[in-house]
Every structure is written in structure tokens, then in C-alpha cells.
């Protein structure tokens, strides 16, 4: 599964409509790496940071609104 995502990731991130899918899969993949292999937690955190670069300001605002609504 990991190898499949790593091979598909460049295409998924280049196509604007597929970026959210790549973001969710990538974040989940690196979350599992962080949980399963504790020595690689900093690698996973670095990858999360890189994935965040693909999120547009509008998407951050939308996510902030969703989180604020859920918090209330």
C-alpha cells in the first residue's frame, strides 16, 4: 500500500481536484508510520508539514470553520 501511494503521489498532488485525496491518504499513511515505528515520529511530522504546503488558504479557512463548529 505504501509503495502504491508513493508511486501515485506525484500525479495525485499535481492534479488539483485529487489533492485532497492525496492529502488524506498521505496524512493517514504517515500517522500510521508514526504510531507503529516510534523512532520515525520526526520523519512523519516533517512529511505532515510538507503535505500542509499543498493546502490552499481557502481550504484552511474551511477547515477552521468546521473545527470551530465542532468545538461548540
Kindly indicate the confidence band of residue 70, based on its pLDDT and cuts at 50, 70 and 90.
very high
How far from chain centre, in Å, is Cα 28?
Answer: 7
Total number of domains in the chain:
1
CB 21 within 8 A of CB 12: yes
Query: Does the structure show a pLDDT above 80 at 1?
Result: no
pTM above 0.85, yes or no: no
Residue (of 33, 32, 27) closest to 48 by Cα position:
27
Per-residue pLDDT tens over the stretch 12-65:
989 989 988 999 999 999 999 999 998 999 999 999 999 889 888 998 999 899
Kindly indicate the confidence band of residue 2, based on its pLDDT and cuts at 50, 70 and 90.
confident
Q: Domain span at residue 28?
A: 2-71
The pLDDT of residue 26 is: 92
Amino acid at each position: 500500500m505504501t509503495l502504491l501511494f508513493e508511486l501515485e503521489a506525484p500525479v495525485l498532488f499535481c492534479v488539483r481536484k485529487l489533492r485532497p485525496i492525496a492529502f488524506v491518504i498521505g496524512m493517514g499513511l504517515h500517522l500510521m508510520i508514526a504510531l507503529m515505528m516510534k523512532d520515525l515520529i520526526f520523519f512523519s511530522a516533517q512529511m505532515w508539514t510538507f503535505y500542509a504546503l499543498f493546502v490552499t488558504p481557502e481550504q484552511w479557512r474551511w477547515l477552521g470553520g468546521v473545527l470551530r463548529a465542532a468545538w461548540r
